[in-house]
Amino acid sequence: DVQYFEDDEFYDKLQRANRESSYRPYQIFWQMVTTGSQCVTLISVVAVLLYWNWWLGLLILLAPLPSVASQIFYGHQSYKIERERTQQRRRLSYFQFLTTNAQSVKEIRLFRLGDYFLGRYKQLYNDFYKVDSDLVKRETRALVPFTILTNLTSAGAQIYAISITIATGQIGFLAGYMQAIAVVQNTVEALLWGVSQLYENNLFVSNLFEFLDVAPNKIATGKRAVPERLQSGIEFRGVSFSYPGTTEMVLQDLNLFLKAGECVALVGHNGAGKTTLVKLLTRLYEPTAGQIFLDGVPLEDYDTLDVRRHMSVIFQDFVRYEMAVRENVGFGYVEEVDNDERIRLATAQSGAAPIIEGLPQKYDTTLGRMFEKGHELSIGQWQKMALARAFMRRAPVVVLDEPTSSIDAESESEIFGRLQQIAAGATTLLIAHRFSTVRMADRIIVIKQGKIIEDGTHEALLAVDGTYAHLFRLQAAGYVTS
């Protein structure tokens, strides 16, 4: 669920699960197989040893126990240390990601941040090394007396066997007894070491199950199908919302009605709650209070997957899929990812078609530099690909969050000219900071601190001379020369 990816504790669980899932289960499997084999060997040899001398056999069996107990204790200490340093490990991975990621490497070179991040990385790594080496030293010191005890027990048993041989003259007994002692001692040590490793690995595997046990956010879903075209519209009735783990209300008792077929623009400062409103409409989150209605029916009465299927959305932080062009566009409606005609139409509508025609393999060109023969695009070209994704889905509700922020003014005008034709009859929610984009909407809503403070057309809001008019003049002043 989206909410988990905005929670640092979830990332801690994910980090621990990723570290352990690759090899711990495999180790547990082979340790169990090895332990079973060692048990068979031990039982057969111990039976003979106990028959010869029960108390000496028992002593050899019990001698390694203190050593194993020490290993189990320090295995648990290692687990605790790794669990407590999860955040630091994530930070270590983040520094590694920053210095090897194409999106950040230019700025790192320009601002000469390489040495700084390398220094932070080394500091964390050295801190890990100090703690780990201290643990190894303490474990080694603890094991020394137990190892001596085990060796003394073995030596005592061998001396006893020699004395019996001297007393009885049975050389064959000595050879058999010495071999049995060696087999039992080695097998017991290996068996108990395996048990301690099983214990330690099970501790670490619990991190994997802790992650797998994270319960999905159960969003109430109905069975009603979403209409192909809205009749009345979308209503936010008394909607308030705060993100999980916080008490700050991002939206406060918000009431808003979007008429069917209307294009409504949301305007406001960063953090005003515009994108949050989109997340609620697409059911990525549930309102803390209030309800959202679609054609007069509560949103939760509709099938959640069907709600999302009937919405075409582009977020401001759109994904750059480093895959083929046809996949980049087709993902907007994955059921039609192989429909070339639909993909070509979407790219023509978004203005991406001329870009694609200039690529070496056209729609089969891999985008980005991560893979062989990849072709990098400018951010504006990437945004046109994202727009094409949104146009793949002919939905009754279209949500565009900063859809042309990286596109030149001429292309922006062309795209919105097409959008008015493409989305004819659809209810469109537009979030933008460019007033050249905003003024194309049928209606403009100004949001401040989670509340609607102005509502009207471009001309009406200028006449009111409020927040919208102030922001418009502020932006327009940048284009006017004295």
Question: Residue 479, Cβ neighbours under 10 Å: how many?
Answer: 7
pLDDT at position 9 is: 64
Together in a domain, 146 and 263: no
Q: Is residue 482 part of a domain?
A: no
Read off the tokens for 133: 């080496």
Together in a domain, 323 and 190: no
Question: Residue 214, Cβ neighbours under 10 Å: how many?
Answer: 14
Together in a domain, 441 and 315: yes
pLDDT at position 257 is: 92
Question: What predicted TM-score, i.e. pTM, was given to this entire model?
Answer: 0.65
pLDDT at position 293 is: 92
Phi, psi of 176 (to 5 degrees): -65, -40
* Among the listed residues 422, 288, 297, the one whose alpha carbon sits nearest the alpha carbon of residue 351: 422
Domain boundary among 151, 183, 212: 212
Together in a domain, 242 and 203: no
* Among the listed residues 223, 271, 265, the one whose alpha carbon sits nearest the alpha carbon of residue 248: 271
Q: At what angle do helices 171-212 and 54-62 cross, to 10 degrees?
A: 40
pLDDT at position 211 is: 57
Long-range contacts, stretch 375-378, CB < 8 angstroms, 24+ apart:
378/406
Residues 385, 355: Cα–Cα separation, whole Å:
9
Residues 332, 319: Cα–Cα separation, whole Å:
11
Q: Is residue 223 part of a domain?
A: no
Together in a domain, 14 and 106: yes
pLDDT digits (tens, 9 = 90+) for 178-234: 776 777 667 766 766 676 676 666 666 666 656 566 555 656 667 888 888 888 889
Together in a domain, 184 and 272: no
pLDDT at position 216 is: 59
- 55 contacts: CB under 8 Å, gap ≥ 6: none
pLDDT at position 91 is: 83
Together in a domain, 133 and 281: no
Query: For the chain (length 482 residues), average pLDDT per consecutive 10?
Result: 58 64 66 69 66 68 74 80 80 79 72 80 85 85 78 73 70 67 70 68 62 59 81 90 83 90 86 84 87 90 85 82 90 88 89 90 88 84 87 85 70 68 77 79 88 89 88 76 54
Residues 435, 433: Cα–Cα separation, whole Å:
6
Together in a domain, 467 and 420: yes
pLDDT at position 325 is: 92
Measured in whole angstroms, the distance separating CA 479 from the mean position of its chain's CA atoms is: 42
Together in a domain, 321 and 466: yes
Q: What's the number of domains the chain is made of?
A: 2
Q: Can you give the residue range of the structural domain that contains 352?
A: 233-477
Together in a domain, 294 and 193: no
Together in a domain, 147 and 273: no
